[in-house]
């Protein structure tokens, strides 16, 4: 695993450290803390406060988060990830974050809360300001909460901002709520809680070379094993190619008409596009659920249905592209 990566974009290059041990002692910073799966509008409020405090006080805008390959806090066990790790950094970058420390959970889960605060937040991240949500837990066995954090911040001269919960429809915005919506195919509602359309940027891999023969070439993308569960079926979609948003239609599922597999595939026909996208990272955004995946009696029936799906998607995708502007 690489220790440090630099992403371009945002206000400057974003530095990402993947181990605590290799993160050099940081410049004075305002640090947002959390797992931040999905980077929804509640997370945007917490990270946004750190970015704003950093700008006002001449500090570095930092985020402490973590990965879960080697273990997971109990309350997050088994929950699929709403954003891939790479997308998480890209979004934080766009939000104006400059420095991320994202070790694996296994590297710090045994630290006592005081050690976590002093060694990780203050020394490695240079925290002068800490921003988190009211339910932030830290330290071994999640022993530390807001009250202890307040005490530690006060005794070390660190400012603390506990950012109030963000509500949508009177209910707290949460990653759990978004996962439930995605499992039900409700990508529109999930998009409301995310503050952007739900999507993923993944590498385009080779498929069966069948799409091109039925007038609907599709980019095939494989979800990471840890990814959130999506309702299988066909979605109105948009794809980002060379910075342009294009109307598309996507099938998420197992393609029972042409295959027997348990590997979930994302296949997207980009309407009106032609070109070679193999090996590229392409972002697909799901806008609206159209229908369930079906096993068709013939490839001809599948071909006709995909053309009808594309026609159904176009007005939805065009309206989205017009509204989003790019």
Ligand X SMILES: Cc1cc2nc3c(=O)[nH]c(=O)nc-3n(C[C@H](O)[C@H](O)[C@H](O)COP(=O)(O)O)c2cc1C
The contact set with ligand X (CB under 6 A) reads: 207-211, 216, 218, 220, 234, 249, 251, 255-258, 267, 269, 293-296, 302, 306, 309
204 forms part of the interface with ligand ADP (CB under 6 A): yes
CB neighbour class for 94 (10 Å; exposed up to 12, middle 13-18, buried from 19) = middle
For ligand X, which is the closer residue by CB, 148 or 314? 314
Q: Of ligand X, ligand ADP, none, which one sits near residue 55, judging by CB under 5 to 8 A according to partner kind? A: none
Give CA separation, 17 vs 66, 100, 103, 131, 304, in Å: 10, 6, 7, 19, 49
- The label of the residue with tokens 């022993």 reads 143
Residue carrying the six token digits 């070379």? 209
DSSP assignment, residue 128? E
Report the alpha-carbon distance of residue 173 to residue 165 in Å, rounded. Answer: 8
Q: CA–CA separation, 56 vs 315, rounded Å?
A: 43
- Residue 165 vs 259, nearer CB to ligand ADP: 259
Shortest Å, Cβ 210 to ligand X: 4
Nearer to ligand X, 165 or 300 (CB): 300
Take residue 193 and report the two structure tokens written for it. Answer: 């809680």
Contact flag: residue 276 with ligand ADP (CB under 6 A): yes
- Under the binding rule (CB under 6 A), the answer on residue 311 touching ligand ADP is no
Which of 270, 284, 286, 302 binds ligand ADP (CB under 6 A)? It is 270
- Exposed/middle/buried for residue 89 (C-beta within 10 Å: 0-12, 13-18, 19+): buried
Closest distance between ligand X and the C-beta of residue 29, in Å? 45
Residues that bind ligand ADP (CB under 6 A): 204, 206-212, 217-220, 269-270, 273-278
């Amino acid at each position: 695993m690489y220790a440090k990566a630099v992403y371009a974009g945002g206000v400057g290059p974003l530095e990402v450290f993947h181990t605590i041990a290799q993160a050099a002692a940081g410049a004075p910073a305002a640090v947002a803390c959390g797992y931040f799966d999905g980077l929804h509008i509640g997370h945007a409020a917490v990270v946004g406060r750190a970015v704003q405090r950093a700008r006002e006080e001449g500090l570095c805008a930092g985020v402490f988060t973590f990965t879960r390959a080697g273990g997971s806090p109990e309350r997050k066990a088994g929950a699929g990830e709403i954003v891939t790790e790479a997308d998480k950094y890209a979004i934080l970058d766009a939000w104006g974050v400059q420095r991320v420390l994202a070790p694996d959970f296994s590297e710090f889960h045994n630290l006592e809360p005081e050690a976590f605060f002093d060694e990780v937040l203050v020394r490695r991240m240079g925290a002068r300001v800490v921003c988190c949500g009211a339910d932030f837990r830290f330290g071994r066995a999640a022993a530390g909460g807001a009250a202890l954090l307040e005490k530690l911040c006060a005794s070390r001269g660190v400012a603390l901002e506990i950012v109030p919960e963000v509500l949508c429809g009177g209910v707290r915005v949460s990653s759990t709520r978004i996962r439930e919506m995605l499992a039900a195919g409700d990508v529109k509602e999930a998009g409301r809680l995310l503050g952007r359309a739900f999507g993923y940027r993944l590498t385009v891999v080779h498929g069966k070379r069948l799409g091109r023969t039925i007038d609907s070439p599709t980019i095939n993308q494989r979800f990471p094993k840890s990814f959130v569960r999506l309702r299988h079926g066909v979605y109105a979609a948009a794809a980002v190619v060379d910075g342009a948003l294009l109307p598309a239609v996507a099938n998420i599922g197992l393609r029972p008409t042409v295959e027997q597999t348990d590997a979930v595939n994302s296949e997207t026909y980009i309407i009106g596009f032609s070109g070679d996208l193999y090996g590229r990272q392409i972002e697909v955004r799901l806008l609206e659920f159209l229908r369930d995946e079906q096993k068709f009696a013939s490839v001809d029936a599948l071909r006709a249905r995909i053309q009808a799906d594309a026609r159904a998607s176009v007005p939805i995708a065009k309206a989205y592209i017009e509204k989003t502007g790019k």
